[in-house]
Structure 1
Amino acid sequence: MTRIFALVILLIPGGLAVYGIKLMRDAIFAEYLSLFFKAGIQFIAGLLLFIFGFAFIGGFIVYRDRKNKYRAIPEKQEKDE
């Protein structure tokens, strides 16, 4: 049950990041939503959503790795001679 809850917590910011990318793409190709009245505002809103979602997922991964003492690049062991 806890893993499903963690997955849901990660899916929400992931979905916001994807929606932010869509807003930025639509602003570039001049397809505006009725909520935004200028392309610049829509692009900035999409950029903020993308940054928030990306930072949340990245922070979650860093927190989990530090908690489990995971190292992506293991330290070199010196030779005893």
Structure 2
Amino acid sequence: MKILISRFIAILLLVIPGLAATYGFLEVKNALFNFFSGFGNDEITPDFEWGRFILGSVLFMAGVGFIGGWIFFRDRKRNYLQPRFRKKRPRPGS
């Protein structure tokens, strides 16, 4: 039972940033779409939704950065990376 709970928590640690990145992407997309679609309507002056755009950008970058960092450090631990990304080992005698 203990391993089941720990695996569930591990899945949640990846799903929550993934959902945040998805929501952030959708907010950026909606802000851009609303701005550019406003040019077709002569009755309104299109204005850019900076709050929605910045919030979406932050959520997207944080989610993608967390998942990318998790994959990078997991691959480093399992020695799947190229030599330039591996941990530097101190040379003996220096």
TM-score, shorter chain, exceeding 0.5:
yes
Deviation at 1:13, TM superposition (A): 0.3
Deviation at 1:7, TM superposition (A): 1.3
Distance in 1 of aligned mates of 2:7 and 2:82:
23
1:15 aligns with 2:25: no
Match of 2:28 among 24, 35, 38: 24
Give the structure 1 partner of residue 74 of structure 2.
64
Q: TM-score, normalised by structure 1?
A: 0.72
> After the TM superposition, which segments of 4 or more aligned residues of structure 1 sit over 3 Å from their partners?
none
CA deviation vs aligned residue, 1:23-55 (integer Å, no higher than 9, x gap): 011111228xxxxxx601110110000000000
Instruction: Give the % identical residues.
Output: 40
Q: TM-score, normalised by structure 2?
A: 0.63
Rg larger for: 2
Q: Which runs of 5+ in 1 are unaligned?
A: 32-37, 74-81
Cα RMSD of the aligned pairs, angstroms, is 1.9
Distance in 2 of aligned mates of 1:51 and 1:27:
16
Work out the number of aligned pairs and report it.
Answer: 67
CA deviation vs aligned residue, 1:39-80 (integer Å, no higher than 9, x gap): 01110110000000000000000111111111369xxxxxxx
